[in-house]
Amino acid sequence: MLVELGVQSVEILGDSMLVLKQIAGEYKCLNPSLAVYLVAARNLLTEFREATWEHIPREENFAANELAQVASGIQMPEDCVQRIIKIGRKSLPSVLTRGMEIEVNSALIAKDDWREPIMAYLQYPTLPSEKRVRIMATNYLMWNQDLVQKVRMRYY
């Protein structure tokens, strides 16, 4: 569309440093299915007299990232060229503030306590951990430095 409008200069904002460096030619694209898009992007850039790009961290690009996530999950029929999507927010208070009763039993944790690896993972999820610990941790949460088991409730 920019080419048809006669735009001569374009500024590209992206939250993927890897993609920006691939477009700039600093990095190679090793994925054959993505290489097609890289070639298309580079060809499109030749249509402009000037092109600049800037990296925007994902945390500063939240709205665009969320919109891209929504759009990537929508399937459209072949004969459909556009589709209106309504996006709304469902506001529900946190489970911890809904007035639900939660019983917490707390005790000092010994080094050989089975809860220790789960608590460590929940507090520091970026540190290396065993797969079984990561799976078990999905059933718990940390609340006020205590390990609390999640309970799935059914509402009828």
CATH number for the domain harbouring residue 2: 3.30.420.10
Pairing of strands 140-143, 146-149: antiparallel
Residue 32 lies in a domain: yes
Domain-terminating residue out of 37, 53, 74:
74
CA 109 vs CA 112, 119, 126, 147: distances in Å: 8, 10, 22, 11
Let me know whether 52 and 5 are in one domain.
Answer: yes
pLDDT confidence of residue 131: 92
- Check pLDDT > 70 for residue 107: no
Residue 87 lies in a domain: no
Q: How many domains does the chain have?
A: 2
Q: Is residue 90 scored above 70 in pLDDT? A: no
Q: Which of 25, 55, 74 is the last residue of a domain?
A: 74
Q: Per-residue pLDDT tens for 4-35?
A: 888 899 998 888 889 999 998 999 988 888 88
DSSP of 77-112, one letter per residue? Answer: -TT---------------GGGTT--------PPPTT
Examine residue 116 and state whether it is found in any structural domain, yes or no.
yes
Contact 144, 102 (CB under 8 A): no
Q: What is the pLDDT of residue 50?
A: 93
Residues 6 and 69 in one domain: yes
Note the pTM of the prediction, 2 decimals: 0.44
- Of 11, 126, 10, 13, which Cα lies nearest the Cα of 60? 13
pLDDT for 1 equals 75
Residues 48-79 have pLDDT tens digits of 999 998 998 877 887 777 777 777 777 777 88
- pLDDT at position 102, please? 54
- Asked if 150 and 104 count as a contact pair (C-beta separation under 8 A), the reply is no
CB 119 within 8 A of CB 109: yes
Task: Please check whether residue 93 lies inside any domain of the structure.
Answer: no
Query: Does some domain include residue 139?
Result: yes
**pLDDT the model gives residue 9:** 92
Task: State the residue range of the domain holding 70.
Answer: 1-74
**pLDDT given for residue 95 in this prediction:** 54
95 within domain boundaries: no
> Rounded to 5 degrees, what are φ and ψ at 133?
-70, -45
The answer to whether residue 94 is domain-embedded is no
Q: Model confidence over 121-133: pLDDT tens digits?
A: 888 888 888 999 9
Flag whether 125 is in a domain.
yes
Q: Which residue has the tokens 């939660």?
A: 102
44-48, 83-87, 88-92, 148-152: least confidently modelled range? 88-92
